[in-house]
Each structure stands twice: as structure tokens, then as C-alpha cells.
A and B are shown apart, each in its own frame.
Chain A
Amino acid sequence: MNAGTAIPAVIEPTDGLGPWRRYICRVCGLIYDEAEGDVDSGIAPGTRFDDIPDDWECPICNVTKADFDPLVPRAAVSAPQAATPVSRTSGVVIVGAGTAGWGAAEAIRALDPATPITVVTACSGDVYYKPELSVALTRGATPSSLRRETGAQAAARLGVRLMKETVAVGLSPASGTLRTTRGTVRFSDLVLAQGARSAAPACLPAHLCWRVNDLAAWSGLHAALSCGPQRVAIVGAGMVGCELAEDLAGAGHDVTLIGIEELPLLAMLPRPAAERLAAGFSKIGVRFLGGRAVGKVERIDERLRLTLASGETVEADQIVAATGLATEPRLARSGGLAFDRGIVVDPKTMRTSAEHVYALGDCVTIGGAPCRFVEPIRGQAEAIANAILKRDHSGYAHRAPVIRLKTRSTPVVIEGAPSTAGEWRVLQDDADALVMEQWAGGARVARLAA
């Protein structure tokens, strides 16, 4: 046998405080496992959560310890034998295997070990944390290091039937049927967790521009960037575009970030905050071209050329389109579900306009607006699980999640629900920090720190 790297033995706790515990980041869903520690940040395996220094930050989204909750272990569930076919004629069917789809499966399993669950997903079903995708290159992550569990492992753990690489194409709530590219599946309850897709305009065609919205796409970009520093143009200076710009620059690439507004993230941030962000970018070498719309993209030999509406051109080896997301309406419409920029759900039960059909995560709109963050998903999944299993439950209570921009050059935190109408007031603006509050109708609606 080869004398390979020694696999560290699993350390057992000897401090008399009981078994190792796990803590979950409310913001991004990262799990801190005391057994594993956070070696990248210098926290040794076997470090109790309480013993972590207070200035430690979530390795993904930079929040501190205070934003972590204990991960309540769920009752162990005996998975059905892999060979036992789960009934096709009843049970819960979940469309999508992202955070929302797996989250719904987990929430149902936590309440009931027996309900048959089928997860239908267009992807492989592999489990990963999407927020990591915009900070992964700097950390030297690889597709396999980002994959936490294969779809098959997650399915076995939860005792669900996984139909991977299967596209849901149509649904009929009245007959309780979901049509997929591997046959028609019957459901007693359906949970739509289909996420949202890149809404890049036609001038950024998918065969020329990357869209970093899932692990498979990230893996493609990762492979394309693996042969050394390249010129990368990122179109769209929203959260994902800004985070990717910093991440790619941190990984040694020559990054140009192109935004339609004159400053990055100006659609969401008040001007002083956006200015700080822009200043941070120039410090780390990200070139920001603001106030520019993209006209077209062409391949010229091995290079790509972006022509801006102004007539300027940008040459690049890779182009990333980060111009926002939209829920794909076809599936919901095929079932006659109410749709308004996303699948319309009842804000308490997360039920769609059809009985026995629920939805959560990136694909829904609540009160006409999407909320595409990890934090709400857990509560939404719990409400759905309780509704499906007819348990007493107070339901989901939507509130705006804390938004954290994972840009280390200028971390930005927004609490509350900023509105386009409100007035921003500066509380502090010096070399240390920028603190602002937004007031609307005589009330403070949001607070920002950068």
C-alpha cells in the first residue's frame, strides 16, 4: 500500500461537555462542526463553538458568531432499503434539489419518517452551498471540495427517491400529476423549489458568457480559468457580479466589472456606500466601468470582444453575465398557477394558488417581490412541512433577511427593508466605517454598515 497522506482520526470530545455540536449560519446556511473546526481560519478541529474568538467570521459570508444558531439534530430516520421502490402513486414530490428542495425534504423527514418523498431535479442533486460560489476561487476551491454530499448520499440519508437529471415539464394540480422527462409522477402534495435562472439579455448569449448560478456552471468557469491568469469581463454589478469580481481578482485574474449605473450596486446601496465599494475595488485592482450598457459580444479568434452601447470595446478571455435572475414561468403556468415575476405563494403557508401545491426559495414571490437569499428558506420549508403533514404550526413569517455583501475589500451589511422611496441619513462616515439609516414615512426602515 502507498504511504499516502494520513487521514486524521476523528477526534472524540474529552472535555466532558458531551458530543460535538454543530451550528448553522442563519445568513448563508454554512454549518460549523466542532469536530472539524475551521482550519482555513485557524480554528483547530475539536474547537468548541463557545471557544471560538469573537472576531471569527463565517468563512462564507463574514458574519460573526452571533449570527449562528445551534443546529438542532433531527431524529434519526431509518432510510428505506435502496431497492424498495417508493410508491409512485402518492406522497410528496419536490421539484429541485438546491437549498430549497433539500431543505423541504429535510423538514418533512424531521416531522415524519414514513411519508414517501420523491425529489425530481434537472441537476445531479449534489449538495453544495451556493453562496460559496462567489468566494470560492480565491480560496482555491475545486468542484469536488465544494460538493458536500452527492445526490445519492443525500437521498439515502433522508430516505427519499431521487430522480436526478430529470426535468419537470408540466403539471396538473387537479389530477395530481407532474410530467417529467422520465415519466409522469403522481403526488399528493407538490413542492416547487425550482430556483431562478439567469435573466441575461440576448446580447450575452449562453454559449459565449458564463452564468454562475449553480455548481455545474461554476465548475465550467473554474476549468476555463485553470490555465493561468486571464482577462475576465463581468457584466452586471449587482451582488453576485461584485462578489465574483473581487473573488476573481483575488485569484489573480484581470477583472473588468461593467455596470449599467455609474457606481457598483447603486440600485441597492445609497451613493456613499456604493462609492466606498468602488474605492475598495480600485484598491484590489478591479477595473469598474460604470454607466455602460452592453451592446454585443463576439468571438474573435480565441478572444471575446464586448462592444458597449457607447461604442467602447472590452477584450476578454472569459465573460461572466451577472445581470440578475428570473423564475422560469413555464412549469407554473402549465399548471395554471398564479405567477407574478415568480410563483405567487401565500406568505404564511407558502401554498401556491393551487391546493396541494407549495413553493419556496428563489422561485417564489411574496407580495409581488422575490427574496433570493438562503435565510428565508429554512422557515419556509418548515411551514410547508407542517402544512403538508397537517400539524399545528404558526406558519412562515416573512421578514427581510440581513443582507451581507461578501466583498472583503468593503464588506457591506444591510438590515431591514430598504425601499427606493426612503431617505438615507449618514450617522458615521470616516476612515473606519460608514453607518447609515434609511427613513421612510417617519420610521427607520433600514440600517447599513460598510
Chain B
Amino acid sequence: MAGALALDQHAFDTSPDPVGETVLARTRAISDGALRAKAHAIDEGHYPLEIMRDFARVGALSAHLKSAGGNFGLAIDAMRAGARQCGSTGFLMWCHGVFGLYLDHSENCGLADRMLPPHAAGETFGGTALSNPMKSFAGIEPMALKAGRVPGGYRVTGTLPWVSHIGRGQYCGAIAQVVDASGAPSHEIMFVLRCDEPVELRQCPVFSGMEGTSTWGLRLADVRIDDADLIADPAKPFIAKIRAAFILLQLGMGLGVTEGAIDSMLEVESVLGHVNQYLDNRPDEIAGELDELAGRVAKLAETPFETSTDYLIDVLDARAQASELSLRSTQSALLHQGARGYLMSAAPQRRVREAHFVAIVTPAIKHLRSEMTRLSKVAQPAGALT
């Protein structure tokens, strides 16, 4: 693979880097070089594992893990650097990073010992299928996967419509609802789903973006999951613990896509500034909002496992703001660039579609808002009129 060869020529320095400056500088070098050059090909369907491998090698995909000091701010900044050039790759960085988060906090140490080092190093790849369970826990939709207990493990059945960053030889974190013999639900389990036979990978219809994220439909018919592959049993307390961190990490996508949009606006400032001055959402305004948001995110990233409701609302608020800002800034970048930005190969129109994804990937803006409403309500004793 070309990327693997290219990697060897980089001769990466692996000296200690406590504040992450080197990690970030190297991540930016890859983003602004190889990734920028491939962004259009990725938009058309190229799955950039070679870039992901490069990112892993410089520490861009593991900064938030305990082994690297649990630096969530750095992980978000690295993702931001990737998403600035290519939103799809920013999303892949999140998928990969969040799977690492699951293993890092799992009490199944044997599983983490086996899987986490090669995952963090970019020798193996995998993502996350938690969209459905996250919405299910928020009461938005029923759980898609059901599990039954068997000796030494579970048997899982169900279908998930789309899961990214998977393929044969890859894996993802998933959650199933355990039902007893009578069909009554008891609790949920979280496990590593290995995307090999007999798990069926089904071709997805063509999406308007994210085509290079290796997104598949998953069908499981009585697939055996060994106890050794359990991340958490029961899953709910585990999810409660990592939920804020899971959402916080996504901020890298929204911040990066917005930053890319500002780049596109500034790119044409010298030639089109005399007419672009009449547009709303000018680069300086967007940059002001972006800085303010990024500052709040950096602060939140210092305590990703805080459990207070206020903290969670702060994270959800930042995530929603990042979605809205991505939508507004990418739209504006397209208007700033005009026809040149509207070319199929141009970044501004691609970013509009990337921003749409930032806004609809779980938690979508609407889910964030309904969740913030729920969290803001003061409970009342039962039997009350509501």
C-alpha cells in the first residue's frame, strides 16, 4: 500500500512529548499534506486507512488514552486538524479514538491488553456502533440488537443500518439488550463485535457524503459473542461513565470543519473581499465564535469523566453549538467562494455535506436539544400532573 511505504520514509521521531506539541505538529503535517491531497478521492469513496495508520504512528489517535496521559484536549485538537482538511477522516479519527476509549475504561483487562496496543498503534482498525443504543438509552428508539445468554458467552441477533470504519478483519464496539428465555429484557451488554463471518456486512445506499468512511449495514443472526470479548456487563453504568467523553471527543469534527470553512473564505479574500464584505458570517465573525467555543471545549476536556449534570449539559451545549457553527460556516464559505467552491472537486461544497453529517450523526442537534431539556427539568414526586 502506498501509504505504508510513505510512512517508512517519514522516519518518525518517537521522543517524549509531554504537552503534545510534537503530536499536534506532526498531525498537522500529515493533514495539510497527504490528507489534503486525498480529500476529494476520499469524498468519492477512498477509505484512507494509510492516512489513519500515519495518524496512529504520530500519536494522533491515542492522545486521550491512559497510556498517553489521557490528554483529551490534544485528542480533540488532532481530530480538528484532520477534519479541517477532510471531514470524513475527522469522523474516522473519532470512530477509532472512541473504540480505544471503550477498551481503555473496560474492566475486562484481558481484552484491553490484547486489543488496545495494536489498535492505538494503527495496526488494527475498528469503530463504534453505539448510535442506536445511545438513542435507545435516551428513549428515542428501541434497541436493535438482542442477546441471549449461553454458556461462556451470548448469542446476538439484530440489524444495524450503518456503522463506519469497519470491514472484514475489523471490529466495532456494540451494545445488545439481553433477554431471558421468556423474551423479557434484563439488562444490556457491551462487547467487541468482530466483523468477520458469520456477521453479514451489507452494502449501504450511496450517501451524499462520508463515502470514504467504509460504512456498512450489519446483520447478526445468532452470532456468538464470547465472555472474553465483553467490554462491559452490565453496559449502562459503563455508558454513564464514558458518555460525556464520547460526545466531547466529537467536538474535533465540528471545530475542524469550521476551521476549514474559514480557510476557504480567507483563500478568496484578496480577490473577492470587495464583494464578500456584503455577506453574513464573515471569516472574522466565525473565527471569533470558533475561538470562544474552542476555549470552552479545552476547559471541558480537562475533566472528561466529571459526572455532574451541569457538566454534561455544558458538553451537550458545546456539541450542539459546534454543529450549528459548522452548518453556518460551511454555507458561508460556499457563498464566499461562489462558482469555484461549487465545483464537485472543491472543498467548500464538500464541507457543506460534511457539516450536515456533523449535525446529524448521533447525537444529532435534535437529540442534543431534547436531552438538554430532559436534564434541565426538576423531577417531581410520582403521581404528579406533568
Residues in A lying within 8 Å of B, measured CB to CB: 122, 143, 165, 167, 169-170, 172, 174-175, 177, 179, 181-182, 184, 197-198, 205-211, 216-217, 219-221, 223-224, 318, 330, 334
The B contact surface, by secondary structure, is helix
Does residue B289 face the partner (Cβ distance < 8 Å to A)? Answer: yes
Q: B324 contacts the other chain (Cβ, under 8 Å)? A: yes
Pair count A-B, CB < 8 A = 76
Task: Tell me if B321 and A207 are in contact (CB < 8 A).
Answer: no
Q: Is the CB of B379 within 8 A of A207?
A: yes
Chain B: which residue is nearest A165 at the CB level?
B373
Pick the contact of A172: B292, B310, B379, B382 (CB < 8 A): B292
Task: Please pick, from B288, B296, B373, the residue contacting A167 in the complex, using a CB distance under 8 A.
Answer: B373
Q: Does residue B32 face the partner (Cβ distance < 8 Å to A)?
A: no
CB of B278, distance to nearest CB on chain A (Å): 15
Give the contacting residue for A223; candidates B296, B324, B378, B384; CB below 8 A.
Answer: B384
B383, A224: Cβ atoms closer than 8 Å: yes
* A369 CA / B381 CA spacing, docked (Å): 31
Q: How far is the CB of A170 from chain B (nearest CB, A)?
A: 4
Q: Is the CB of B289 within 8 A of A220?
A: no
Ordered by A's residue number, 20 sampled pairs between the chains whose C-beta atoms are within 8 Å are A169-B316, A170-B321, A174-B288, A174-B292, A177-B289, A179-B321, A181-B369, A184-B324, A207-B382, A209-B381, A219-B384, A220-B380, A220-B381, A220-B385, A221-B384, A223-B383, A223-B385, A224-B383, A330-B310, A330-B314
CB-CB under 8 A from A221, the residues of chain B are 384
Closest-by-CB residue of A relative to B292 is A172
* Cα distance, A169 to B378, chains bound together (Å): 15
Q: In the complex, A28 Cα to B340 Cα: how many Å? A: 64
Chain A residue nearest to B376 in the complex (CB): A167
Binding site for A on B (CB under 8 A): 285, 288-289, 292, 296, 310, 313-314, 316-318, 320-321, 324, 369-370, 372-373, 376, 378-386
Docked CA distance A306–B127 (Å): 49
Asked, given contacts A175-B288, A181-B369, A182-B369, whether A207 binds B314 with beta carbons under 8 Å apart, the answer is no
Question: How far is A167 from B384 in the complex, measured between Cα atoms in Å?
Answer: 21
- Please, which residue of chain B has its CB at the minimum distance from the CB of A172? B292
CB distance from A326 to the nearest CB of B (A): 12
Distance between Cα atoms of A179 and B313 in the complex (Å) = 12
Instruction: Tell me the minimal C-beta distance from A440 to chain B in angstroms.
Output: 38
Taking CB atoms, residues of chain A closer than 8 Å to B285 are 175
Which of A184, A197, A220, A334 is B384 in contact with, Cβ under 8 Å?
Answer: A220
Which chain B residues lie closer than 8 Å to A220 at the CB level? 380-381, 384-386
Which among A182, A184, A318, A334 is the interface contact of B314 at CB below 8 angstroms? Answer: A334
B303–chain A nearest beta-carbon distance, Å: 15
Partner of B378, one of A177, A182, A206, A219: A206
| Smallest CB gap from A219: residue in B | B385
Give chain A nearest CB distance to B62 CB in angstroms: 31
B330, chain A: closest CB distance, angstroms: 16
Chain B residue at minimum C-beta to C-beta distance from A221: B384
Which residues of B lie under 8 Å from residue A206 when comparing CB positions? Answer: 378-381
Instruction: Evaluate contact between A207 and B381: CB separation under 8 angstroms.
Output: yes
